């Protein structure tokens, strides 16, 4: 039996010959199968485990999607003819020169041909402003965050601006790409240490690399491959125990029951394709691809990736640079790329071999010999330009000298920053599960008169039942904090954000879901408001509460907000014991002390 891991990419080309050489059953494993994958295995799916099922089983966690739209990200901008700053994409050396003409750039040219620092800064500033208010409202430390950049130069720009915007040093935000120094060490620290809090990558952490503490992914590049996009999302889905998360994210970390996707480029809405054409070696440099071609490699992934790099380079060259390339190398750049692709085109290979392919039968042994020989000829011809080291140096120099223009004129502005309400999210599933939980436990919930009545029910019974309900709810992997966040995402105009998480807040959530309350606010807010009204009413008479009495009453109020009610016995415990406990409370309020407690139990939760 042969097992092919990551079979969405490990069963093709040369590897397929290895797999088919052995007379054995082939089992493929992958989290992101493509159409080609199903075709290779003849649609023979032995076992299927969907991402949705994995989330339900707590093998993975789901995501909430937050959108950041800016004017330039969506529409591009215009740079009027002027003295402009240019930067070498590789060396990042800058120089000033006069523009030849006005330049209009579209969003697709951002961070490739044009760099607008204001556009990057607008996104990062929005993240900084929202991280502790909307995204992770109960946190003090920035959660582990991974930013996907378009290229290595873009990653450098993002790292610099993140450090500036957050006012932090080098350890706070680091670039983790194949070209970065000590990238493996930085990745290990990102996974296991408190710093860095934010990492910027291109491809190195996009697939196949687990960083379980990750709680936020920021897409500052679009991705058109469905499989690759799912792999990138997978970086945030990994489950991690709370104690392990706190070790790398601080004591303020809460249970990882979801992660946040921040879409700053429209990646969640762009059309996705089933495959990732041409580029198979994103981590391998152009220099290394050309060197392997000069050594006579027959690896289709190497040569196809090389063709893709040349095609991308050709779109950036000016007409005079294209002519120079042809004069120097001997062929137009488009022809060099086409020859590399043709070496693996079945029709081109068959035409060179003089073999007529029949879709209803495999080639005969004699025909296969001719096809193999023809393909070797085509590969040798396609690789010929790279045999000359001067050609390789020239092509690398062409790539290096291509410049980016720095747009310091057009200042970007955020047009929308908020949760994506147009698509179902993990929040919908959590709320749906909670609604089903209420339906299944309705009899127990209705027994808690505090849920629907304005008068307090029996205190010991209420607390006991509420704790039992919450334990059941936690078995569904739903916490009070997560529920509150989900309602804030789906109904932001009806939910007050803030620090919550007390058991009593479950009352507010149940009342909101059952329709007994129009707005969702912390249980403590309700108690605080009722306390204010009650003290105003009591102080309106001839006898007013003294300053010491008010200090005691505020402590009682806080206890009720956390524990639903108070009894005389509670006054002998923290924090009341520091003020003299029940004895001092009796001295301050006299014979009315029990009346005061009973009245507050009723009025403050009404």
Supply the pTM of this predicted model: 0.71
Structure tokens, 237: 């889905």
Nearby residues of 603 by Cβ (< 8 Å), 6 or more positions away: 530, 533, 534
Tokens 């919908």 belong to 428
Beta pairing partners, 262: 66, 218
Distance CA 28, CA 6 (A): 7
Structure tokens, 68: 């950041």
Structure tokens, 487: 């309602």
Distance CA 199, CA 187 (A): 9
Three-class secondary structure of residue 424 per DSSP: coil
Tokens 């981590």 belong to 283
Tokens 């720095």 belong to 406
Q: What is Dmax (Cα atoms) for the chain?
A: 113
Nearby residues of 51 by Cβ (< 8 Å), 6 or more positions away: 31, 60, 237
If one counts every other C-beta atom within 10 angstroms of the C-beta of residue 444, the result is 14
Confirm if 183 and 204 have CB atoms less than 8 A apart: yes
| CA-to-CA dists, residue 258 to 251, 481, 506, 568, angstroms | 18, 11, 20, 41
Q: Residue 276 has what pLDDT?
A: 46
3-state helix, strand, coil in the chain (%, to 5): 50, 10, 35
Burial of 563 by CB count in 10 Å (0-12 exposed, 13-18 middle, 19+ buried)?
middle
Q: Angle 581-589/547-563 helices, nearest 10 degrees?
A: 130
Determine the Cα angle at 307 with ends 305 and 310, to 5°. Answer: 110
DSSP character string of 21-90: HS-S-EEEE-SS--HHHHHHTTT--S----HHHHHHTTSB-EEEEEEEEEHHHHH-EEE-SSEEEEEETT
What is the topology classification, in CATH, of domain 63-263? Rossmann fold (3.40.50)
Confirm if 199 and 145 have CB atoms less than 8 A apart: yes
Tokens 């739209």 belong to 69
pLDDT profile of the chain (606 residues), mean per 10:
73 67 79 73 77 72 91 92 82 83 86 90 96 90 94 91 95 89 90 95 78 94 82 88 93 89 90 55 76 89 85 79 90 90 85 78 84 91 92 83 81 89 75 89 72 53 79 84 87 76 81 86 87 90 88 92 85 91 93 90 81
Beta pairing partners, 96: 85
Q: Angle 426-440/459-475 helices, nearest 10 degrees?
A: 130
Structure tokens, 273: 């394709």
Structure tokens, 181: 């120094």
Q: Residue 100 has what pLDDT?
A: 80
Q: Residue 277 has what pLDDT?
A: 47
Three-class secondary structure of residue 222 per DSSP: coil
- 58 phi-psi bin (left φ>0, alpha ψ -120 to 50, beta other): left
> Can you give the length of the chain in residues?
606
| CA-to-CA dists, residue 310 to 154, 285, 290, 383, angstroms | 20, 12, 11, 13
| CA-to-CA dists, residue 501 to 11, 27, 139, 481, 600, angstroms | 49, 46, 12, 5, 23
């Amino acid at each position: 039996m042969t097992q092919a891991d990551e079979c969405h990419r490990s069963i093709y080309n040369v590897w397929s010959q290895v797999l088919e050489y052995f007379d054995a059953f082939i089992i493929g494993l992958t989290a992101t199968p493509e159409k080609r994958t199903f075709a290779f295995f003849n649609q023979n799916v032995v076992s299927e485990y969907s991402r949705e099922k994995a989330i339900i089983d707590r093998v993975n966690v789901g995501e909430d999607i937050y959108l950041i739209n800016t004017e330039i990200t969506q529409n591009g901008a215009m740079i009027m003819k002027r003295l402009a700053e240019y930067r070498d994409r590789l060396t990042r050396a800058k120089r000033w020169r006069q523009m030849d003409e006005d330049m209009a750039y579209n969003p697709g040219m951002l961070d490739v041909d044009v760099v607008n620092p204001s556009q990057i800064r607008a996104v990062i500033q929005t993240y900084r402003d929202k991280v502790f208010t909307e995204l992770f409202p109960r946190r003090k430390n920035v959660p582990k965050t991974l930013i996907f950049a378009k290229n290595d130069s873009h990653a450098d720009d993002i790292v610099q601006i993140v450090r500036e915007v957050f006012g932090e040093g080098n350890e706070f935000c680091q670039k983790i790409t194949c070209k970065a120094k000590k990238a493996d060490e930085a990745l290990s620290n990102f996974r296991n240490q408190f710093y860095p809090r934010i990492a910027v990558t291109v491809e190195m952490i996009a697939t196949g690399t687990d960083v379980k503490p990750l709680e936020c992914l920021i897409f500052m590049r679009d991705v058109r491959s469905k499989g690759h996009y799912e792999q990138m999302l997978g970086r945030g889905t990994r489950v991690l125990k709370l104690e392990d998360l706190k070790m790398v994210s601080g004591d303020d970390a809460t249970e990882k029951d979801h992660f946040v996707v921040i879409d700053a480029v429209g990646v969640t809405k762009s059309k996705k394709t089933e495959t990732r054409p041409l580029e198979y070696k994103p981590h391998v440099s152009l220099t290394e691809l050309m060197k392997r071609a000069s050594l006579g490699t027959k690896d289709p992934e190497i040569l196809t990736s090389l063709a893709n790099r040349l095609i991308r380079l050709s779109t950036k060259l000016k007409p005079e640079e294209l002519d120079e390339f042809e004069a120097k190398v001997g062929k137009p750049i488009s022809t060099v790329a086409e020859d590399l692709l043709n070496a693996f085109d079945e029709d081109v290979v068959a035409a060179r071999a003089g073999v007529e392919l029949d879709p209803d039968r495999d080639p005969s042994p004699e025909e296969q010999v001719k096809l193999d020989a023809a393909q070797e000829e085509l590969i040798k011809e396609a690789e010929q330009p790279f045999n000359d080291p001067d050609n390789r140096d020239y092509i690398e120099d062409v790539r290096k000298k291509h410049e980016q223009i720095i747009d310091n004129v057009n200042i970007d502005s955020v047009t929308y920053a908020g949760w994506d309400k147009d698509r179902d999210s993990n929040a919908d599933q959590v709320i749906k599960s909670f609604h089903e939980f209420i339906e299944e436990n309705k009899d127990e919930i209705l027994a808690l008169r505090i849920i629907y009545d304005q008068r307090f029910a029996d205190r010991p019974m209420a607390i006991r039942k509420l704790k039992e309900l919450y334990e059941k709810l936690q078995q569904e992997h739903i916490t009070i904090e997560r529920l509150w966040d989900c309602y804030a995402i789906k109904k932001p105009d009806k939910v007050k954000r803030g620090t919550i998480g007390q058991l009593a807040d479950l009352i507010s959530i149940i009342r909101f879901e059952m329709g007994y309350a129009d707005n969702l606010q912390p249980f403590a807010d309700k108690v605080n408001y009722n306390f204010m009204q009650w003290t105003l009413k009591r102080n309106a008479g001839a006898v007013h509460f003294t300053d010491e009495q008010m200090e005691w009453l505020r402590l009682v109020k806080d206890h009720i907000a956390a524990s639903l009610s108070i009894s005389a016995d509670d006054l002998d415990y923290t924090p009341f014991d520091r003020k003299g406990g029940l004895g001092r409370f009796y001295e301050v309020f006299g014979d009315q002390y029990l009346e005061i407690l009973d009245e507050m139990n009723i009025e403050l939760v009404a």
